[in-house]
Structure 1
Amino acid sequence: MHNAEINKTSLLILIALCLGWTLIYADRTALYPLLSVIGKDFNLSATLLGTITGSYFLVYVAMQIPSGMLADKIGKKKLLIITFFIAGVALLGFGLFARSYILLLLFTALHGLGAGAFYPCAYGIMLNTVDSKISDKFGRKKIALMLFPLGAFTIFLMTYARSPFPIILSLVAYGIVGKSSWDPIAVAWAGRHAAAIDKDALGTAMGMFNFVGMMSAVVAPVVTGYIRDITGSLVTAYYVAAAMSILGGCLVMFIKLLQFSPDNLLHTNSHKLPNPL
């Protein structure tokens, strides 16, 4: 009975985190189809439009490590509530009060401030809720070595999409083999190492992990806009993205798999039974 209650609680926590992730991601991606409209209204170049999304990711990335450390100190649940509220206020301000380019940047950056705490908190809660001592029996490295080239291939195919259906098909394909598939593997991989070191500092560890992973999101929108301004097309940007995916696969080849025995992991964390929230 006790185990059943624990499993039910864990399931509810995971569902709540998934819903939170969905909202954060929806808020972020809702901006992209509006960029063309914003560009016309404010007479902005592609570079300036890229700076709007870049301002979000700049603050978002900067928040990763501080929010992870703060979550470990004051509690992950408490920090999630506060930062979700900030993100919501920023979106409201973006829609109602952003009447200039500067205000667009400020409200977008404020939203990044609120959203930036989600992943360190959520990953920390998840890794405390779900056992992170599962061995690498599925071969994370082997899966990653397959995903990166497939992701690059789907990005490459996007350059040949000339109608809505092929575009949607290529995006769905990338969703299956691209970042959405890599993220769970990377989180579990990094979380397994972090839990073996200090399970009470998972917020900080996952904040640092997401900080490194999201650094490119600060630069990519501006670079993509710059490439379009120069070439008049986004095709070259897709080629660069595909090449970056191939490079990521090459770097994974050099990762050495460290073996953690269950006994060592248990000994490392036997004195720590943290509240997942």
Structure 2
Amino acid sequence: MATSGLPTVPAVAFPVRMLATVLTLALGWVFIYLDRTTLYPLLPVIGKEFRLTGTQQGAIASAYFFTYVALQMPSGVLGDRFGLKRVLMAMYALAGLGMLAIGLLARSYPLLLVFVALHAVGAGAYYSTSYGITVSSVTPERRGVSSAIVTVGMASGLALGLSLPPLLYQAMGSWRGPFVLLGFCTLALLPMFWVGVQGRPMSAGPAGSLGRLFRHRGLVLLGIASFFILWSQWVTLTWAPSFLYQERGLNLRQAGLYSAVVALPGVVGALTWGRLSDRLGRRRLLGVLLPFTVASLVGVALLRQPALLALALGGFGLTGALALNPLIVSWAGDMALKRPDLGVGTAIAGINALAVGSSIVAPVVSGRILDITGSLEGAFFLGALCVAVGWAILWAVPEEGVEGRGRAL
């Protein structure tokens, strides 16, 4: 029988307990992203209350991500040593308490920075633990699509975080109310983790080594490429609502809804590209998609008609960092699981620490561009340039564990 030139893979059928684990972790991402993203559409209101400059507003997001990045590698090492599930639950509880503190105790700009960072301490462990559980619990042919399902939680939380807070703010009459509400909702998920995340993730795996990790050329290059690719995400998530509100004439609610346009295509993209990457390879697919990411960011900077802006934001959602995250995670997992001495939690944490490093500088650099030029257009152009740099670096990253999969079926 003649066969097509593309490799084939078996149908992706999940055992019930494995599916429960993946779906529970996806739900956890809904609230991590919802909690985090709630800040962005409310930045104009918060900035007005505390009389903040653009740079100071950007520093709020930078304070979050500085702490978030600092927790990446320690949480991965701790997860490999003491159990990924145990570390995930303990730090998730801290993230919920941080949200409550923002809403109840942040009465000055310095306190706001402190409590935003406290939430980031808890949230910073979720990436390495959730994806460490995912990639170590599923077979290679399910790795891309499983990571995609977990990433759908990110996109869903992003959509809610950009669209829901303005509505809650209007209903509650205070920007603090949404943080308190979401803090309680975040804490309410802990029993679901205890019940839903089962099996192998409960046991401690091999202890990871940061020294071995940073001697792995492929993982380091993938992390550096991801640093530049994810720059565009931090610019868009942090500043798109303010950009649309202040420079494109939308009201606060419209700005949040338009920014949330990124999320739905992100869900479609994550599921589609994750599944395809299991067949075609991670690097090949990223090489095709990232030029469209660049074009979308240039469109956001240049276009003024609302319908075209929505189209550009949707294009960014479909081909941007959020939709492509399953490919990067799976690629890291492919390499890490070839080297058990690395520790999968440590490897994923290290990659994400390098990648999310751009989140520390991108928001404040974008705010500085706003202060100097009076516009955020330059910030989106810089984001497009960074994606192009990341695209070029990816071609030097070796690809393992994908080529040839299923060719003999």
On whether the aligned pair clears a TM of 0.5, the verdict is yes
Instruction: Quote how far apart the aligned CAs of 1:165 are.
Output: 3.6
C-alpha distance in structure 2 between counterparts of 1:32 and 1:169, whole Å: 21
Quick one: which of 369, 380, 392 aligns to 1:250?
Answer: 392
Shifted more, 21-30 versus 105-114: the winner is 21-30
**Pairs within 5 Å for 1:141-160:** 141-160=283-302
Give the TM-score taking structure 2 as reference length: 0.60
Shifted more, 56-65 versus 251-260: the winner is 251-260
Instruction: Quote how far apart the aligned CAs of 1:260 are.
Output: 8.2
Number of corresponding residues:
258
Instruction: Quote how far apart the aligned CAs of 1:6 are.
Output: 7.3
Partner of 1:218: 360
Partner of 1:102: 110
Q: Would you say 1:181 and 2:189 are equivalent positions? A: no
Partner of 2:40: 32
Quick one: which of 321, 324, 344 aligns to 1:202?
Answer: 344
Partner-residue secondary structure (3-state), 2:322: helix
C-alpha distance in structure 1 between counterparts of 2:369 and 2:112, whole Å: 23
| 8 A Cα contact 1:65 1:208, kept in partner | yes
C-alpha distance in structure 2 between counterparts of 1:41 and 1:209, whole Å: 37
Quick one: which of 121, 146, 163 aligns to 1:113?
Answer: 121
Instruction: Quote how far apart the aligned CAs of 1:76 are.
Output: 1.2
**Structure 2: gaps of 5 or more residues:** 1-12, 144-276, 405-409
Shifted more, 233-242 versus 167-176: the winner is 167-176
| 8 A Cα contact 2:281 2:402, kept in partner | no
Partner-residue secondary structure (3-state), 1:51: helix
Letter in 2 for 1:63: L
| 8 A Cα contact 2:282 2:399, kept in partner | no
Letter in 2 for 1:241: G
Instruction: Quote how far apart the aligned CAs of 1:131 are.
Output: 1.3
Identity fraction in percent: 40
Letter in 1 for 2:318: I
Letter in 1 for 2:288: M
Q: Would you say 1:238 and 2:380 are equivalent positions? A: yes
Closer, same or farther: CA 257–81 of 1 in aligned 2, 3 Å: closer
Give the TM-score taking structure 1 as reference length: 0.88
C-alpha distance in structure 2 between counterparts of 1:129 and 1:241, whole Å: 35
| 8 A Cα contact 1:158 1:167, kept in partner | yes
Q: Would you say 1:46 and 2:188 are equivalent positions? A: no
| 8 A Cα contact 1:72 1:200, kept in partner | no
Instruction: Quote how far apart the aligned CAs of 1:162 are.
Output: 2.4
Instruction: Quote how far apart the aligned CAs of 1:181 are.
Output: 2.3
**Pairs within 5 Å for 1:21-100:** 21-100=29-108
C-alpha distance in structure 2 between counterparts of 1:178 and 1:86, whole Å: 29
C-alpha distance in structure 2 between counterparts of 1:145 and 1:59, whole Å: 31
Instruction: Quote how far apart the aligned CAs of 1:161 are.
Output: 3.3
